Structure 1
Amino acid sequence: MEEKDIERLLDKFDRSTLQDFELAQGDFRLAFSKRTVQNAASATAPTAAPPASPASAPTDPAAPPAKPAMDGTPVPAPLVGVAYFAAAPDKPPFKQIGDHVSKGETIFVIEAMKMINEVPSPISGTLVKQLVDDGTMVEYDEPVVLIKEDAE
Structure 2
Amino acid sequence: MKKIHIILLVLIAGAIAVLVSFLKTASTYDTVETAMSKPGKFVHLMARLDRTTPIEYDAVKNPNYLAFTAVDTTGKSVKVVYHNAKPDNLEISERLVLKGKYENGQFECKDIQTKCPSKYKDDPRAQQQAMQENAGTASPAATNPSTEK
TM-based fold match above 0.5 = no
Identify, as 1 or 2, the structure richer in helix: 2
Q: Rg: which structure is higher?
A: 2
TM-score normalised by length of structure 1: 0.29
